[in-house]
Structure 1
Amino acid sequence: MQTIIDLALNWFLHLDAHLAELVALHGAWIYLILFLVIFVETGVIVMPFLPGDSLLFVAGALAAKGLFDPWILFVLLSSAAIIGDALNFTIGTIVREKAIDTHRIPFVKEEHIARTHAFFERHGGKTIILARFVPIVRTLAPFVAALGAMPPRIFFFYNVTGAIIWVGLLVAAGHIFGTIPWVNQNLTLIVIGIVILSIMPAVFSWLHARKQPN
C-alpha cells in the first residue's frame, strides 16, 4: 500500500516531468490518456481523487513548450468533462429511479454527499459550474443533481458551460504562465498551490458548518 501511495505522490509532485515522459513515449496517444483521466474523474463517482485541476494547468504549461496543441487540449478535455458529467448524471438518475437510499451507496461517504447538497442549497444549478473547481465535489455534483431530479436540459446547460469554463481557464492559465521561467522552474509549487486553492471552499464550508448550532 505504501508503494502505491508513494507512486501517487511522486506523480502528483512531478506531474510535468511524467507528462513529458509520456509524450516522449506515446506521442499523440497522450491525448487519449488525458481524455480518459478527465473523463474518469468526472464520470466515475468512486474516482474523485484524480488530479483534474493540476493536470489541466500542467498540460497547458507543457503546451506553451510545444508538447501539446492547446486547442486540441481544450476541445478534447472539454468533451471529456462534458461526457463524464453526463455519465455521472445518468448513473444518478438510474439510482434515483430505483429508489436507493443515498446513504447506502457503496464507496460514497455521507459527508461528501452532504457537502455537495449544501453547495446546491446555496448556489442552485450554478453548483454544476462552481463544483468544477472543487475536488470531490465536482465528481459528486452531477450524481447529486440527478438524485435531486434536476431536469436534464438544465443540467446539460450547466454541464457544458462549466466544462468549457473549467478546462478553458486552467489550460489557458497554464499556457500563459507556462512561458514564465519562474513558473517552469517551480511547477511543483504551483500544482500544490492549485490544490490548496481548490479545496479552500470545502474547508470554509466545513468550518462554517462547525460554527452552526446543533
Structure 2
Amino acid sequence: MPELISDLIEWLNLHPQFITIAIASLAFIESLAMVGIVVPGISLLFATAALAGGANISLVYCLLAAMAGASTGDICSFFLGRYAHPWVLDHWPFKQHPEWVVRGELFFGRYGIYSVVIGRFIGPIRPVLPFVAGMLYMPPPRFIMVNLLSSMAWAPVYVMPGYLVGNSALELSSKEQPTMDWISGELIGIAIATTLIAAVFITWLIQRRSKPMTGKTDKEAKEK
C-alpha cells in the first residue's frame, strides 16, 4: 500500500488537473462496501488533499468533490445491500469476515437512521453501514436525504486537515517571508468549527437516541 500511495502522489504531481477527480474517486472508494474496508482511503484522501492545498486548488472544489464521491459511494452501497446482499455476503470479503456485517447490524439496530450520520466518523464500520441500511430495507428517500446531509459534515473533517498541511507547505516554500494571511486563518477557523459542530451533532444524536429508552424504562419501573 505505501507504494500505491507514493505512485498516486507522484502521478498527481505531474497531472494536477486531475486532483479534484482523484479526491472524488477516493471518497467514493472509501465509502463503497467491500472496497472501502480494505483500501486505505483516508490516508490516500489526506495525501491528495495535501497536494490540492500545495497546488493552491480551490478548497470549495475539493470539498464538493469529496461530498459527491462519498455520497455516491454510500448510495451505491445502500442499493447493493438492498438488492444484492445474498450474493455479496457469500463472497469476499464478507464471507471471510461476517462479523463486519454483524457489527453494522448491531450499530444500526441501536441508533437507527442516526447511524448513517454517526457511522461516517467511525472508521471500522463506516463502509458497512450503508450496505446494512439497504439490507434492512431502510426507505431509500430517507437514506439519501440523511446521507447527503451527513456528507456535508464529513467532507470538511477529512479533507481540510490535509489541505491545510499542503497549503502551509506552499506558504513556507514561497520566496516571500511566510506569514499567516487572513485566508489561512479563515481555513483553520472553518476546520476547527466544522470538527466541533460534527462532534456536538454526533453527541446530540447519541443522547437523543438514548434518552427515550431511559425514560421508557424509568416509567415502566414506576408502574411496576
TM over 0.5: yes
Q: TM-score, normalised by structure 2?
A: 0.63
What runs of 5+ residues in structure 1 fail to find an aligned partner? 1-7, 185-214
Counterparts in 2 of 1:133-152, with a 5 A limit? 133-152=121-140
Q: How many residues align?
A: 168
Q: TM-score, normalised by structure 1?
A: 0.66
* CA pair 47-175 structure 1, distance change in 2 beyond 3 A: closer
Equivalent residue in structure 2 for 1:126, among 114, 120, 123: 114
Q: Which moved more, 1:84-93 or 1:18-27?
A: 18-27
| Alignment pair present for 1:29 and 2:18 | yes
Q: Which moved further from structure 2: 160-169 or 72-81?
A: 160-169
Structure 1 runs, 4 residues or longer, greater than 4 Å off: 17-20, 177-181
Task: Tell which deviates more after alignment, 143-152 or 104-113.
Answer: 104-113
Which residue in 1 is equivalent to 2:143? 155
Question: Closer, same or farther in 2 for the Cα pair 1:107/1:30, shift >3 Å?
Answer: same
Q: Does 1:62 align with 2:51?
A: yes
Deviations 1:141-160 (A, max 9, x none): 11100111111121112211
> Which deviates more, 42-51 or 142-151?
42-51
Whether 1:9 aligns to 2:2 is yes
Query: 2 CA distance for matches of 1:85 and 1:162?
Result: 11
When residues 50 and 67 of structure 1 are mapped into structure 2, their CA distance, relative to the original with a 3 A threshold, is farther
Question: RMSD in angstroms over aligned alpha carbons?
Answer: 2.7
Between the two structures, name the one with larger relative contact order (CA 8 Å, sep ≥ 6): 1
Shift of 1:91: 1.2
| Structure-2 change in CA distance of 1:101 and 1:91 (3 Å) | closer
Summarize the Cα distance change of 1:93–1:101 in structure 2 as closer, same or farther, 3 Å threshold: same
**Cα shift at 1:87:** 1.0
1:193-204 mapped onto 2 (5 Å cutoff): none
Q: Which one of 38, 41, 52 corresponds to residue 52 of structure 1?
A: 41
